[in-house]
Structure 1
C-alpha cells in the first residue's frame, strides 16, 4: 500500500543505483510513498554470499517497520541483546543487558539481510536490473539519465546513489568529493569450534580491547563467531588481499593475539576455511555535497561510519526511509533533498566520529589501549531509541535530530 499524499515533490519515478542494503530499502520506502523505483545493480546477478556478519540495531529494525519490511528480517536474525566490554587479559570492564522495552539487536550475515530485503522488494513489484554498472549521469529537461557500462541508459525523475562507500554517484555529484578514510586496520572474521569453552554467555556480544581487539559471540550453531583486526599502516589492495592464502592470514593473526583472552583460544580453534577476509576498515569523512540537482546520496555513499559503530546497516536503512518521506511531502526534489540532509547529517556524522575514535584504539594509534567506557546504556540510548515518524508530515523547515 502506498502513501503518496499527492506526490508532493512531483517525483513519480526514481533510479536507484546499487542493490546492497540501502538500495532495496530505498525502493521499498519510495514504493510506500507512491514513487516507482527501479534498482540498478552492477553485479551480473544477485550478490548472494557477499559480506560478513553485521548487527541490525533496534533503530534499524524500527526504520524497517515504518515501511512494513521488518518481519522477514526478524525471522532470519539471531537476537543478541547483551554487551560486555573487557580487556585483553579477560577482565570485564562494563556490561549492558539491552533495553527491555526494545527488541534485541539482530546479528546475521549481510547477504541474508540483503536477500530478505530484495525478496520483499521483488514481491512488492519493484524491478531489479543487473549488470548495470553506472559510468555517468546527466540531468535532462525531463529528469536525469543514467548511462551504464553495457551501453544502455535509463531516465527517471530522480537518481539515488545507494552504491556504497566507493560510490560512483558521489563523484558524479561532486568530482572533488572525499575518498573513504582508512582506519589503520585490516578486518577479519571467522568461526571457532570452541563453544562454551570461551566463557561467552548466549545472547551476549563481547568486545575485548588491549594490544589487539577482538569481538565475539556464540552463534546459533554453538560455534563462536568472531571479528578481529590486524593493524597495518599500508593496507594491501583488495586484489593483494585475495592473493594471500587464508592459512597465512590466520598465522599472522595467531602471532598478534598470542596471550590475548580469549583471542588466542578462538584463533587456535579456527580453520583456514572458516576465516573471512573482510578487508580494510574504512569510513567516509564528512561529504560536503549529498545532492545536486536531481541526484542524491543515501547510505554508505554519504555516511559510512565503519563497522566499529555497529550502526552501518541501521543508519543506511534510516536514511533511505527518511529520504522517501521527504520526497513524499515536499514540493520539489531540491527541497526534499535539503530537508533529508538536515534531518540526517548531524546524527550520522556524530556516530561516524565516535567510530573513528574506536578505530584509533584498534589500530594502536590511541594514547590508551582500552577506550574509556561511560554508561553503555546512556551511550546507546540515543542510537537505539531513534525513530522516524513516517506518518508525520515533513515541513519545509526541519531541524537536525540526534
Structure 2
C-alpha cells in the first residue's frame, strides 16, 4: 500500500488523510504544534462546497453538528442606514447552507474523526528538510533530527509552509494585505441576539461584522488597516489595547460595533495574508495543497472550503493515477484556475470593504442598488462546485466552466 506523509494538522491535513484512506492509501499526519495550530481563536464559515467535499468522504455530519447555520446577511452603512439584505453565498447556498464554527473546534472535530478512523496524527513534529535522494519515495526530516519515510509527501502546512519552500526555494512569500484581523467574543453584547444571520457594517473607517451563536454569545470580526505585526507584538498586545485600537476606528459609526468590542471577553488578532499565485505546487514526490499553495484573504469566507476540496480531489487523483507525478499534474490542472480566481476575488472584496472617504458614498449606493435588485448567482462557481467521488479523476470538470 502507498504511504503518504502529510505535513500539517490544521484543516487540509486530516481531511486529506481521511480522503486518502477512502482511496486505499495509508498516511500519517505530522503537526508542528503540540496541541493545535496558529490562529485558533478565530472563527470561519464553511460553505456548501466545503460540506460537499466532506460528504464525499463521509465526514460532513460531525462538522455540521459542531457548527451553526448563519445563511443570511443584513447590511448597514456607517451612518446607520440599512442598505439591504441578502442570502450568504449569493442565493446559491446549496444543500447545506453556510455554517459558522470556531477554528479550534473545527480542528478538534476533524482530529477526532480522523483518529476514530485509525489515522495516526503525531504532534510536535516540525518539518525541517526533506531527503529526495532515494530510490523510491521521500523522507521527511524533522527539527529534532528524526526521519520518516513515505512514498510521497503532502504539504498541508498553511500559509507559512515549510514544504512550499522546500519544493521551490524561490516560491513567493505570503503577501501582507495591509490589515490586522481581530476576532472577538462577547457574552453581554449590547445587541439583540438574532441567530442565523450576519450583520455587516460598512463603516466610515473599517468594515465590521457580527453574528450570534446558539448560546447567545456575539462573535465578531473587524479588519484594522495597520502595519504588519510580528509574532511577539501579536502575543504581547493586551485585551484592553486591542479594544482601544478597534473602538478608535468604530466610534464615529452609528452602529453597535464599538459597544460590542468594549463588551468582549476575548479578542484574537492575526495578520491578513494571501498568496496570489505559487508557480510550483509540486516537485518529484512532493506537493502543497490548501493555504500552503494558494492562500486567500478571509474576505470571501472560502479558505477552509477550498482546503477541503483540495484534499478530496488530490485523493481521487492519487487513487486513479498511482504514479504521484501524473496524479499531481492532473490535480493541478483541475484546481489552479479555480483557487487563483478565489484569491483574486477575495482580495477585491477586501478593497471594497475598507475604501477611502471619497469612495464611501458611491460604495454604499452601489451596495444598496445591488441588494435591491435581488440575489444573483454570482457565487455559484464557488458554492455549487461538486465532487463526484465515484467518477474518475480525469472526468472532474473545471468549476470555472461549470459556472458559465
TM-score by length of 2: 0.90
Residue 289 (structure 2) aligned to one of 288, 293, 298: 298
The 1:24–1:162 alpha-carbon spacing in structure 2 relative to 1, beyond 3 Å, is same
Matched residue SS, 1:84 = strand
Residue 277 (structure 2) aligned to one of 271, 286, 291: 286
Deviation at 1:224, TM superposition (A): 1.7
Structure with greater helix share of residues: 2
Contact persistence 2:45–2:100 (CA under 8 A): yes
- Map residues 230-245 of structure 1 onto 2, 5 A cutoff: 230-232=224-226, 234-245=227-238
State the match for 1:8 in structure 2: none
Residue 135 (structure 2) aligned to one of 131, 141, 144: 141
Write the distance in 1 (CA, Å) between the matches of 2:53 and 2:289.
14
- Map residues 2-401 of structure 1 onto 2, 5 A cutoff: 12-47=2-37, 50-97=40-87, 99=92, 101-139=94-132, 140-194=134-188, 198=191, 201-210=194-203, 211-232=205-226, 234-260=227-253, 261-270=255-264, 274-364=265-355, 368-369=359-360, 370=363, 372-373=366-367, 374=370, 376-395=375-394, 400-401=398-399
Write the distance in 2 (CA, Å) between the matches of 1:85 and 1:358.
15
Matched residue SS, 2:339 = helix
The C-alpha deviation readout for 1:244-290, integer Å capped at 9, x for no partner, is 211012112111101222312322332xxx23222111111200011
The 1:186–1:235 alpha-carbon spacing in structure 2 relative to 1, beyond 3 Å, is same
Deviation at 1:189, TM superposition (A): 1.5
The 1:367–1:354 alpha-carbon spacing in structure 2 relative to 1, beyond 3 Å, is farther
Write the distance in 2 (CA, Å) between the matches of 1:152 and 1:365.
52
Contact persistence 2:385–2:399 (CA under 8 A): no
Contact persistence 1:185–1:362 (CA under 8 A): no
Write the distance in 1 (CA, Å) between the matches of 2:198 and 2:251.
21
The C-alpha deviation readout for 1:377-399, integer Å capped at 9, x for no partner, is 4222221111111110123x876
The 1:231–1:138 alpha-carbon spacing in structure 2 relative to 1, beyond 3 Å, is same
Number of residue-to-residue matches in the alignment: 386
TM-score by length of 1: 0.90
Deviation at 1:310, TM superposition (A): 0.3
Query: What stretches of structure 2 of length at least 5 have no aligned partner?
Result: none
The C-alpha deviation readout for 1:102-160, integer Å capped at 9, x for no partner, is 22211111111111111111111111122111001122211011100011001111000
Contact persistence 2:186–2:266 (CA under 8 A): no
Contact persistence 1:48–1:115 (CA under 8 A): no
The 1:366–1:360 alpha-carbon spacing in structure 2 relative to 1, beyond 3 Å, is farther
Contact persistence 2:94–2:384 (CA under 8 A): no
